Amino acid sequence: MALIRAFLAVIRRDLLLAVRRRAEIANPMLFFVMVVTLFPLALGAQPHLLQAMAPAVIWVAALLAALLSLDSLFRSDFEDGSLEQLMLTEHPLAVLVLAKIVAHWLVTGVPLLLIAPLLAVFLGLPAEAITTLLLTLVLATPVLSLIGAIGMALTVGLRRGGMLLSLLVLPLYIPVLIFASAAVERSVSGLAVTAQLNILLALLSLAVVLVPLPTAAALKMSIN
């Protein structure tokens, strides 16, 4: 019970800090909206082309927005010493790290879920494809946060680790991008998407199990 209370306390703390730093929430969302809305302006009045490109456009924008938000995961805690305090607690660091990743997804991933249907309608996606898009976002955006946590933990001690973080994380994001956008594209064509969704679910399960321990180890190495 004490571990559960500590897990929930970390989530609550990070959510309160995110509310106080609203710009960190708004920047990824604004970036996501701007990238998606610029494509129709560039392509002009070509609804069929927009509909065909919509899954890839939305998912590339979501991936880049997730990458943009990673710096808020551990950076502020590292700078103010809160990360060292987490390591000194009696609770396993991997569990507390998982709590921080959950809070990060609630702050950055959930807003994308709320905005994505509106942008999908803007790009002309049919209703069935919008449902599939939401399912892929629910399954895959937590994977982006989990994978990004490892890269952020490895680079949190570096002053200019943004480029290195991108080089570490982007190759690992590619499978998520491929299967998520393929699911939406198949839904637009009226094809079955069960296989793609199952693969995303498997990736999420593996990430939840495998990511916290190496992330905690990477944080210890970065601080020491």
What tens digit of pLDDT does each residue of 52-99 get?
888 888 999 999 998 888 887 888 787 777 788 888 888 888 999 999
Is the separation of the CB atoms in 204 and 180 below 8 Å? no
Comparing C-alpha atoms, which of 10, 5, 1 is closest to residue 216? Answer: 10
Report the C-alpha dihedral over residues 19, 25, 29, 30, rounded to 10 degrees. Answer: 100
User: Rounded CA gap, 173 and 177, in Å?
Assistant: 6
Query: In the chain, what percentage of residues exceed pLDDT 70?
Result: 98
Whether the predicted model's global pTM rises above the 0.85 cut: yes
User: Rounded CA gap, 35 and 66, in Å?
Assistant: 13
User: Rounded CA gap, 77 and 74, in Å?
Assistant: 5
Q: Is 189 exposed, middle or buried (0-12, 13-18, 19+ CB in 10 A)?
A: exposed
Tokens of 200: 């995303």
Element (H, E) at 203: helix 194-210
- Output DSSP code: residue 118: H
Extents of the domains making up the chain: 2-223
User: Rounded CA gap, 164 and 30, in Å?
Assistant: 24
pLDDT for 95-116, tens place per residue?
999 999 999 999 888 988 999 9
